[in-house]
Amino acid sequence: MNTHSENFEIKARLELALTASEKARDLILKYYQSPDLHVERKSDNSPVTIADRGAEEILRAEITQAFPNDSIMGEELPPVEGTNEFKWILDPIDGTKPFTHGVPLFGTLLGLEENGKLVMGVCRFPALDEVVYAMKGGGAWWKIGNQEPRRAKVSDQSQLSESVFCTTTMTRWETIGKQKAYEYLCRNSYLARGWGDCYGHMLVATGRVEVMIDPVLSPWDAAALVPILEEAGGHWIDFAGNPSIYSENGLAVNAALKDEILQIIAQ
């Protein structure tokens, strides 16, 4: 397959991801801040709702209708084995805890692998009416409401003492033996905040925060983030510095601070 047709194939999937995530958003917003929303607990004690499952069903139906030969992996439903080089990786609500607490910092994530390499990502924030998206070679874009999309770019801040550090779950750093790194980052950054889940990673992609670290995560938490951060001029990498979504940890960082952050984590 030549470059032209690859780009065409990926662009078609990006357009589908943008419209499918709007349909999922409409369902999610029906349940957001609803007093009747029932929250179940999965076997790992994490929450799940009818909005998580319903949104993933919508995403899958849209993908399957448009691209029936693509593979699909998602958080809430069993995998689908396709017959071509494309694999979708879905998280219908990333940040189910903020969602169930009526806090708007949750998002719908769609990532796309082509022959195992991440080439496209969409992160839509239903309650904020914002979306950040990218395809390989096409730049990263940030659209707020009906405004024209603007380029998403990481900051060029190179001093940790002037940088904002975010993380999802403070207590999990101890679980993975990285408590010292967490404390170092809190003490040596300008500001440490818990703006978590995909929202924290997109703050890095849009230049508002310098580093966002998640000590524990799954492939669907990360797949959409890799192409977005790369196209925004930064990195989404695991704790070993590789753009792998299968390492159960990861971080978004601007280019200027990448090496220093990896050294701190390795302590």
Nearer to Ca ion, 55 or 264 (CB): 55
The CA distance from 93 to 98, in Å, is 10
**Residue 168: contacted member of ligand IPD, Ca ion, none (CB under 5 to 8 Å, by partner type):** ligand IPD
Nearer to ligand IPD, 52 or 62 (CB): 52
Nearer to ligand IPD, 62 or 214 (CB): 214
Least separation, in Å, of the C-beta of 5 and ligand IPD?
34
**Residue 231: contacted member of Ca ion, ligand IPD, none (CB under 5 to 8 Å, by partner type):** none
Least separation, in Å, of the C-beta of 97 and ligand IPD?
6
Nearer to ligand IPD, 48 or 66 (CB): 48
Least separation, in Å, of the C-beta of 222 and Ca ion?
9
- Residue 230's closest CA among 264, 196, 201, 200? 201
The CA distance from 161 to 251, in Å, is 18
The partner residues of 47 in beta bridges, in order of sequence, read 41
Least separation, in Å, of the C-beta of 168 and ligand IPD?
4
Least separation, in Å, of the C-beta of 180 and Ca ion?
26
The CA distance from 206 to 228, in Å, is 10
- Residue 140's closest CA among 22, 226, 13? 226
The CA distance from 173 to 115, in Å, is 33
Least separation, in Å, of the C-beta of 87 and ligand IPD?
19
Nearer to ligand IPD, 168 or 189 (CB): 168
Buried b (16+ CB within 10 A) or exposed e, 149-178: eeebbbbebeebeebbbbbbeeebbeeeeb
User: Tokens standing for 159?
Assistant: 């001093």
Report phi then psi at 88, rounded to 5.
-90, 140
Nearer to ligand IPD, 8 or 246 (CB): 246
Residues contributing to the site for ligand IPD (CB under 6 A): 46, 75, 91, 93-97, 168-169, 196-197, 214, 216-217, 221
**Residue 230: contacted member of ligand IPD, Ca ion, none (CB under 5 to 8 Å, by partner type):** none
